[in-house]
Amino acid sequence: MKKFLKIILGIVVVIGILVGVIVMVTSGDRDIARNFVTWASAGQYEEARELLHSELQKEFNVEKLQASFEGVKPYTEVSFGSVETASGRGTTMEGSASTEDGCTSKVSFEVLNDKIIAFNINPLCRE
């Protein structure tokens, strides 16, 4: 019985270490996505646009980004329940963003080399 408990404890420790490593490795990517949501919804379009990959910046100039987020309530909380990362493929995240009054949107991001290569916020919480 003691041997079985030691094996279970060892497995739990290994899983805990793996989770800790994933959290540390993806913290920068989560910050990038979180900042994009909060900045874009707060009208800081130039700062939010800088987080986009150069090819995505061509699609979203400041005016288009502003038009996309015009009338959106500022998001105050952004969290990710699903985070996957793979070497050379970047980080994929899914979660939610909430406004102060409780409106919630589903968010998904793909980040590669510290730049957002794809994002979706749906539905946007409008004023």
| Burial class, 103, CB count within 10 angstroms (exposed 0-12 / middle 13-18 / buried 19+) | middle
Q: What is the pTM of this model?
A: 0.80
Specify whether the CB–CB gap between 97 and 75 falls below 8 A: yes
Specify whether the CB–CB gap between 66 and 49 falls below 8 A: no
Question: What residue type is assigned to position 16 of the chain?
Answer: G
Pick the more confident residue, 4 or 42. 42
Write the pLDDT tens digit of every residue in 8-27: 887 887 777 766 665 555 55
Give yes or no for residue 81 having a pLDDT over 80: yes
Write the pLDDT tens digit of every residue in 90-123: 899 999 999 999 999 999 999 999 999 999 999 9
Specify whether the CB–CB gap between 97 and 37 falls below 8 A: yes
Write the pLDDT tens digit of every residue in 26-77: 557 889 999 999 999 999 999 999 999 999 999 999 999 999 999 999 999 9
